[in-house]
Amino acid sequence: MVEIVAHNPLWTDDSRAERKAIRSAMGPHLITLHHIGSTSIPGIHAKPVIDMLAVAPSVEALDAAAPALVRLGYEAMGEYGIEGRRYFRKDDAAGRRTHHLHSFAADSPDIERHLAFRDFLRAHPDIAERYSALKQQLVTGSVDYIEGKAPFVLATQADAMVWYRAQPGSY
């Protein structure tokens, strides 16, 4: 069962602390690291799991950094359904998922897709609120959570990409 909770302002601090640990662990294998996903969008409901996006020089650099991430408590999941991605997940001592790390080589189009969606929702609180309401509705209904939000995400992502590419200094 998917748990959705009200936005927690402490998610920003948690993300900042975890990103510091990841930066230290990955060292030269990391270019940049972002807080993404619903926990990075103020005011909206989210699964209480911090999503992050790591950008590395290459997939080989991500693979080289994997043992250091495992030592931080992450489980290396490989591509996990997205070609070119290296996905890591972390649970707390009680077995509750706490963090996701989506990692890509710097030339991956998936980086822009994630950042565009995040920044678009941050810049359009009305659309972010619609997304929040949809997620709350999905956890109480009979429709699969991921499948239920997919049409909204895909449509919003298309708008977000157009908007994002028009922004000065976009990725």
Q: Where are the domains positioned within the chain? A: 10-165
Average pLDDT over residues 27-47: 97
d(CA 54, CA 63): 12
Average pLDDT over residues 64-92: 98
pLDDT at 34: 98
Helices (H), the chain: 10-26, 59-71, 109-123, 125-140, 145-165
Confidence category of residue 52, pLDDT binned at 50, 70, 90 = very high
Average pLDDT over residues 142-151: 93
pLDDT score at 170: 75
21/50 Cα distance (integer angstroms): 14
**pLDDT for the residue 75:** 98
Q: How far apart are CA 64 and CA 60, in angstroms?
A: 6
Q: What is the pLDDT of residue 141?
A: 85
Share of the chain above pLDDT 90, in %: 95
User: pTM of the entire structure?
Assistant: 0.95
Q: For 10-165, which CATH class?
A: alpha beta
